[in-house]
Chains A and B, each alone.
Chain A
Amino acid sequence: MILKGKVFKFGDDISTDLIAPGRYFHLRSNLPEMAKHVLEDADTTFASKVQKGDFVVGGENFGLGSSREHAPTIIKLAGVSAVLAKSFARIFYRNAINVGLPALICDTDKISGGDELEVDLEKGEIKDLTNGVVLKFAPLPKAMIHILNDGGLIDHIQKHGDFKLD
């Protein structure tokens, strides 16, 4: 699958508190509403500017903090097609795959805010159409490829009735 869109660039240590602030706790059963506040404490204008297909690009340790799956879920609901970072916090990474949001590890220093990207999930390649840079991203662990290909963990279990990871 080829993903295409514009980059919204963030720094290191984007926590789940920045992505899905606790003060919107009461919106956890109203995720489309919560998605209007996605990443608000990192960039107040992000939610109003992001368009379908765009990319969230972070630095080190993206998604650190709580286990709230609402964080990748509202990023996805906002229309983001993939999150790119130098590294991810463990729970966020697993959650992202579970909800069907690709989380790709690459050297994001070479990508700037506003750049147009083309991401080929099968080939493991990111093309920055603005500056011509081509990046490779580390392949996902095999177990996660199975889950992501099925569309997330819920669809995976519905399809197989059990974990089918090898």
Chain B
Amino acid sequence: MGKTLAEKIIGKHAGKEVSAGEIVVVPVDVCLMQDGTAPLAIRQLQKINLEKAANPKRTVLFLDHAAPSPRKELSNDHITIRKFAEKTGCKISDVGMGICHQVIFEQYLNPGEILIGADSHTCTGGAMAAFSTGMGSTDVAIGIALGKTWFRVPETFKIEVTGQFQPGVYSKDLILYLIGLIGADGATYKSLEFTGDTIDNMSISSRMTLSNMAIESGAKAGLIQSDKKTKEFLQKWGRVSKYKELKGDEDAVFEKVIKIDASRLAPTVSFPHTVDNTKPINESLEIKIDQVFLGTCTNGRLEDIEIACQIIKGRKKNPKTRFIVVPASKSVFLDAMSKGYIKQLVEFGAAVLAPGCGPCVGVHEGILGDGENCISTQNRNFKGRMGNPDAFIYLASPATAVAAAVAGEIVDPREFIAKKKPKGRKVKTARRKRK
């Protein structure tokens, strides 16, 4: 009997064959915490005199959620984190270096490894064919100190995606569509395994968008095989020797197989205040937008900024709409700069901020006003998420979001990309059904 990708990676670490449902204690290869979760984790370790790291060189503490710090309380949390790193030898990724999930992917994570992170979107690492999952501060604290953690081996949903996206439709639309289809708790405790030729043809960045949002369906991980593209990525980052080809077996036991035809997807938008409240673009038009946010661990990479620049080229920003751009990492920022994208964005009227989480979690840099609408490339639109429970967040792809910066309202980005609106095409829609 074959094994899923999750069973393979966890089994390798457990030193035995494992199957879904088993509880195992496994060594962890990489650990991360961020400035919102690390102080609590550190206090927990201090409580039991266990302020140490089993593997400090691959334990990384990120100052990214409140970076640069907007308040003295948070600056003091940063001091706590820096002191812990000094004491234990753990790595610090300081203000300006970028979002934890992006940086860990660029610089640390390899196929076949286990990454635990005190941040729910740690599942982004699944695009590296690594078992990556988010946990709370205490779980990760103990993982860091002892070098191991416990898991229940998850059942797997195989998400088989075939066909080519229409121009103007992206992996973000696919994942929003999927979440709309299965619901925000449709995959709770499960591992998603994305396969099919659409995934094979997708860039690493686009795959990261899929894995990143696995948690929005409740999943524990969102895994994708490693292949030529993974190898090229590792080559670029100087660790091609860490490449390993890994994929789930065809004859593994999947709890469910969900098949999606990518060619039939339309740009998709999540309406306030839940991620699974999705609608296709034709049902999302003419919503006035006060703020556009391009960035985050979901869509703050070079290809996202590139798409934004395609959309704004030769066009003017709507004077009533603000536009905030936050590159996901220092490396993304530098690449966008050398390609001239940053200049183009600033000339267009965007406020470009230091790499990090930006306004995503409502701590600083772009908190919404009462009654305002924001369209964002992030992964969550819960009430209060961007700092104000009386504001409204729409989630979309970079193309859909940035098109709204031109139009001042939600529009079909395909009009901007293909010039002409594709007509007569039947598009799928997804609405959530509660069981």
The residues of A with any CB-CB pair to B shorter than 8 Å are: 12-13, 15, 17-18, 21-23, 25-30, 41, 60-61, 64-70, 73, 87-91, 94-95, 98-99, 141-143, 152-154, 157-158, 162-163, 165-166
B296 to chain A, nearest CB (A): 13
Q: Is B119 an interface residue (CB 8 A)?
A: yes
The answer to whether B184 and A64 have CB atoms under 8 Å apart is: yes
A161 to chain B, nearest CB (A): 9
Using known A-B contacts A18-B383, A67-B118, A68-B36, determine if residue A29 contacts B73 with beta carbons closer than 8 Å: yes
Residues of A within 8 A of B139 (CB): 94-95, 98, 153
Chain B minimum-CB-distance residue to A143: B23
The residues of B with any CB-CB pair to A shorter than 8 Å are: 23, 25, 36-37, 39-40, 43-44, 47-48, 50, 65-66, 71, 73-74, 76-77, 80, 117-120, 122, 134-139, 142, 146, 148, 150, 152, 184-185, 188-189, 215, 218, 220, 274, 361-363, 367, 380, 382-389, 434
Chain A minimum-CB-distance residue to B23: A143
A60 to B186, CA, bound (A): 11
A21 to B385, CA, bound (A): 7
Residues of A within 8 A of B74 (CB): 25-26
A157 to B119, CA, bound (A): 22
Beyond the given pairs A26-B74, A67-B119, 19 more chain A to chain B contacts, judged by CB atoms under 8 angstroms and listed by A's residue number, are: A17-B382, A17-B384, A22-B386, A23-B384, A23-B387, A25-B66, A25-B74, A26-B66, A28-B40, A41-B383, A41-B384, A66-B120, A73-B40, A89-B185, A89-B188, A89-B218, A90-B189, A95-B135, A158-B48
The answer to whether B138 and A65 have CB atoms under 8 Å apart is: no
Using known A-B contacts A26-B73, A163-B148, determine if residue A87 contacts B39 with beta carbons closer than 8 Å: no
A157 to chain B, nearest CB (A): 6
A123 to chain B, nearest CB (A): 24
A66 to B156, CA, bound (A): 22
A29 to chain B, nearest CB (A): 5
A87 to B218, CA, bound (A): 11
B83 to chain A, nearest CB (A): 13
The answer to whether A15 and B382 have CB atoms under 8 Å apart is: yes
Chain B minimum-CB-distance residue to A21: B384
A45 to B200, CA, bound (A): 51
A151 to B371, CA, bound (A): 43
A21 to B137, CA, bound (A): 17
Chain B minimum-CB-distance residue to A162: B146
Residues of B within 8 A of A165 (CB): 23, 25, 150
- Going nearest first, the 5 A-B pairs with the smallest beta carbon separation are A22-B362, A69-B136, A95-B136, A61-B185, A26-B73
Residues of A within 8 A of B135 (CB): 67, 91, 94-95
The answer to whether A141 and B152 have CB atoms under 8 Å apart is: yes
B318 to chain A, nearest CB (A): 27
The answer to whether A28 and B77 have CB atoms under 8 Å apart is: yes
